[in-house]
């Protein structure tokens, strides 16, 4: 290799070597750290953040893991994740609803204690908290679904009759009873987890899940026809013919079904 | 060291000042470390809530917020604009350490310090090789890496591995497997790299070093003319490259390197009382009395 000009100095060579070495080491160490940081975002579904917690990604940039929210929690609901024990980003606050649910204090002391705003100080009404959404995950074992009047999740709900209602349905099994279906309404449910904690089954049939798991979402362009019709005060599409609904079983206008009867109106003649 | 030149560390200081006198700052430092730990533990253990929280962020007597400024900085870089309380807490801590020396945190407060000091003590007892010694600038590179990773991932990156806050939080809130991490650091310092963690790796120490680079409280080799080259201060100092410029240099006797942790071990260990705590504008040296000869080197003296 031929060199033109002045020979390169050994100091320069050493400087470049040392810098390359340090940079290489930092890239390796930084990659491991970045991988850990990515891993830390995987919050287990049963781990719920305190009320007012920022979305998980923002939360990890904001929470300094001081534990002041844990200290202010009067019900010992919150705890800090322990290294290698809880699969939550180490040192960050969380709670498990089935162990100790959030009691939804009116003054929200955990949010007031947070020095960084990782728990959003804008949350001034605990009923607006969104720690998760309760979902009746097991309709096969839920006692109410079996036709019993357990109702415990409904009765303990701090936002009773708004976050959980009992919807009456016909009990097809017995044929003459009702089923009172505990039904969660996500816009009122705070995700406090009292329902999950109180479920009488050995494994709760109603569970609080993070919204990302609990909820679907409607496409932005979807419209509910009946709402549009009501808003317009007339059918959305003009001149549409409302055909009779063909339902199975007796008492319908389905002539094929036993007990079917002639419809009270004439269908339009099809001309050839 | 060969057996011929090896002499028990600090024996002269103990002879001159007594055991207590030769361990004054060490004992004070352990007391301080214990004090800060107990302060945090009084609440969870005995229900006396003077201080709540951890070293990452705390609230004293319900009014004084304190925030670790390095964590605060990572949070800023990660893209979170922290609430006022955390900012006030970080500024208070920054100003305090900028005055008394950033790395006072390392030697007087940090709960990992007794661990690495213990490793160093055993390292010396076992007369092990100093092992892998990364360059002094390594921790600054690591600090920069941590800040970059914080920015790229949007997390407070060092808190995923920081043994300081993990151990502190572990003692106050629940240990998990933090003990394994502490053991790893002890073994690393003992067998892999002398003074490895605190002296070469830890970016928190690097950060506090920068914070305290113009600190008021400094150790000075004021009485450096009395030095008899026993080298004990070099043996105990966790950052012993900071000593030479002050002790052997022609300029100021002040130890001005931001790496100095103000631990005061050099003051303890010196039988000739060469070192003392002073402020950074005190550049006075004790002039050698004209008539006295230079002190004899230690090896020639009977012991």
Three-state DSSP state, B219: strand
B187 and B123 in contact (C-beta within 8 Å)?
Answer: no
| Structure-token pair, residue A219 | 């496409």
Considering only residues A242 and A225, tell me which one the structure prediction assigns the higher pLDDT: A225
Three-state DSSP state, A164: strand
Structural domain includes residue B241: yes
CB count in 10 Å sphere of residue B268: 25
Same structural domain, B228 and B181: no
Same structural domain, B97 and B230: no
| Residue range B133-166, pLDDT digits in tens | 988 889 999 999 999 999 999 999 999 999 999 9
The reply to whether B133 touches chain A by the CB within 8 Å rule is no
Residues in CB range of B13: below 8 A, 6 or more apart: B21, B22, B232, B268, B269, B270, B271
Residue (of B46, B53, B156, B172) closest to A69 by Cα position: B53
Looking at the structure of chain B, the number of domains it has is 2
Cα–Cα distance for residue pair A70/A53, rounded to 1 Å: 13
Q: What is the mean pLDDT of chain B?
A: 90
pLDDT at position A4: 61
A66 and A119 in contact (C-beta within 8 Å)?
Answer: no
The reply to whether B240 touches chain A by the CB within 8 Å rule is no
Range of B128's domain? 28-211
| Residue range A142-190, pLDDT digits in tens | 999 999 999 999 999 999 999 999 999 999 888 889 999 999 999 999 9
Q: Which residue, B211, B230, B261, sits at the end of a domain?
A: B211
**Position B103 confidence tier, pLDDT thresholds 50, 70, 90:** very high
Structural domain includes residue B19: no
Cα–Cα distance for residue pair B7/B260, rounded to 1 Å: 25
Structural domain includes residue B16: no
Structural domain includes residue B247: yes
Same structural domain, B89 and B141: yes
Residue B44 has pLDDT above 50, yes or no: yes
Structural domain includes residue B23: no
Structural domain includes residue B197: yes
Q: Which residue, B186, B211, B236, sits at the end of a domain?
A: B211
Q: Provide the CATH number for the domain around residue B254.
A: 3.30.70.20
CB count in 10 Å sphere of residue B204: 28
Same structural domain, B141 and B234: no
List all residues of chain B from 243 to 302 with a beta carbon under 8 Å from chain A. none
The reply to whether B153 touches chain A by the CB within 8 Å rule is yes
Q: Are strands A164-171 and A79-80 parallel, antiparallel or unpaired?
A: unpaired
What H or E segment, with its residue span, contains residue A37? helix A10-40
Same structural domain, B176 and B97: yes
**Position A248 confidence tier, pLDDT thresholds 50, 70, 90:** low
Three-state DSSP state, B90: helix
Out of B65, B81, B159, the one facing A91 most closely (by C-beta) is: B159
Cα–Cα distance for residue pair B94/B167, rounded to 1 Å: 22
Point out the least confidently predicted range of A233-247, B34-48, B181-195. A233-247
Residue A271 has pLDDT above 90, yes or no: no
| Residue range A113-134, pLDDT digits in tens | 999 999 999 999 999 999 999 9
| Residue at token pair 């919204």 | A211
Cα–Cα distance for residue pair A180/A195, rounded to 1 Å: 16
Structural domain includes residue B252: yes
Structural domain includes residue B254: yes
Q: What is the mean pLDDT of chain A?
A: 89
Q: How far is CA B185 from CA A14, B32, B110, B167, B194, in A?
A: 30, 22, 14, 12, 11
Cα–Cα distance for residue pair B168/B146, rounded to 1 Å: 20
Same structural domain, B76 and B174: yes
Chain A positions touching B169 (Cβ under 8 A) are 65, 67, 80, 91
Residue B62 has pLDDT above 60, yes or no: yes
Chain B positions touching A71 (Cβ under 8 A) are 43, 49, 52-53
B78 and B150 in contact (C-beta within 8 Å)?
Answer: yes
Q: Which residue, B188, B211, B234, sits at the end of a domain?
A: B211
Same structural domain, B177 and B57: yes
Same structural domain, B104 and B161: yes
Taking CB atoms and an 8 Å limit, are B82 and A84 in contact across chains?
A: no
pLDDT at position A39: 87
Residue B303 has pLDDT above 50, yes or no: no
Same structural domain, B223 and B122: no
Same structural domain, B202 and B96: yes
The residue count of chain A comes to: 272
Same structural domain, B77 and B107: yes
Three-state DSSP state, B61: coil
pLDDT at position B4: 47
| Structure-token pair, residue A243 | 């055909």
B172 CB burial (10 A radius; 0-12, 13-18, 19+): buried
**Position A8 confidence tier, pLDDT thresholds 50, 70, 90:** confident
Same structural domain, B84 and B116: yes
């Amino acid at each position: 290799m031929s060199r033109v000009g002045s020979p390169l100095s050994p100091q320069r060579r050493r400087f470049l070597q040392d810098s390359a070495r340090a940079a290489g080491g930092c890239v390796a160490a930084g990659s491991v750290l970045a991988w850990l940081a990515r891993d830390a975002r995987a919050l287990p579904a049963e781990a719920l953040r305190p009320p007012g917690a920022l979305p998980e990604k923002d939360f990890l940039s904001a929470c300094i893991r001081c534990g002041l929210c844990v200290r202010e929690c009067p019900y010992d609901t919150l705890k800090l994740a322990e290294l290698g024990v809880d699969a939550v980003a180490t040192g960050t606050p969380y709670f498990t609803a089935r162990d100790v649910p959030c009691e939804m204090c009116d003054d929200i002391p955990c949010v007031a204690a947070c020095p960084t705003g990782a728990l959003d100080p804008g949350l001034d009404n605990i009923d607006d908290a969104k720690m998760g959404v309760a979902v009746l995950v097991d309709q096969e074992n839920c006692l109410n679904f079996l036709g019993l009047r357990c109702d415990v999740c409904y009765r303990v709900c701090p936002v009773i009759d708004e976050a959980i209602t009992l919807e009456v349905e016909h009990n097809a099994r017995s044929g003459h009873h009702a089923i009172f279906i505990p039904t969660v309404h996500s816009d009122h449910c705070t995700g406090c987890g009292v329902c999950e904690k109180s479920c009488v089954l050995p494994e709760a049939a109603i569970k609080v899940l993070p919204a990302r798991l609990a909820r679907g979402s409607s496409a932005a362009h979807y419209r509910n026809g009946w709402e549009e019709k009501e808003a317009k005060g007339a059918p959305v599409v003009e001149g549409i013919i409302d055909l009779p609904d063909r339902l199975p079983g007796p008492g319908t206008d389905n002539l094929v079904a036993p007990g079917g009867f002639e419809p009270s109106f004439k269908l339009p003649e099809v001309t050839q | 060291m060969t057996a011929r030149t090896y002499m028990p560390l600090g024996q002269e200081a103990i002879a001159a000042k007594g055991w207590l006198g030769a361990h004054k700052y060490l004992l004070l430092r352990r007391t301080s470390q214990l004090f800060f730990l107990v302060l945090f533990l009084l609440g969870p253990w005995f229900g006396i809530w003077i201080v709540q929280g951890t070293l990452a962020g705390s609230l004293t007597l319900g009014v004084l917020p304190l925030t670790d400024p390095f964590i605060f900085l990572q949070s800023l870089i990660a893209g979170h604009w922290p609430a006022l309380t955390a900012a006030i807490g970080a500024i208070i801590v920054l100003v305090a350490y900028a005055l008394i020396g950033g790395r006072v945190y390392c030697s007087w407060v940090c709960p990992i310090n007794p661990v690495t000091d213990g490793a160093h003590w055993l390292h010396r007892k076992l007369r092990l090789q100093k092992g892998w010694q990364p360059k002094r600038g390594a921790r600054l590179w690591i600090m920069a890496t941590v800040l970059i990773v914080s920015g790229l991932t949007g997390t407070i990156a060092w808190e995923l591995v920081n043994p300081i806050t993990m151990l502190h939080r572990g003692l106050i809130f629940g240990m998990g497997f933090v003990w394994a991490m502490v053991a790893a650091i002890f073994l690393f310092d003992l067998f892999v790299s002398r003074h490895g963690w605190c002296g070469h790796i830890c970016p928190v120490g690097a950060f506090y070093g920068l914070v305290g680079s113009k600190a008021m409280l400094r150790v000075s080799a004021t009485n450096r003319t009395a030095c008899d080259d026993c080298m004990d201060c070099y043996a105990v100092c966790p950052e012993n490259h900071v000593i030479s410029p002050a002790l052997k240099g022609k300029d100021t006797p002040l130890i001005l390197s931001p790496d100095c942790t103000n631990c005061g071990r050099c003051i303890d260990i010196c039988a000739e009382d060469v070192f003392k705590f002073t402020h950074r504008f005190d550049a006075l040296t004790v002039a050698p009395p004209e008539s006295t000869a230079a002190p004899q080197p230690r090896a020639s003296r009977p012991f």
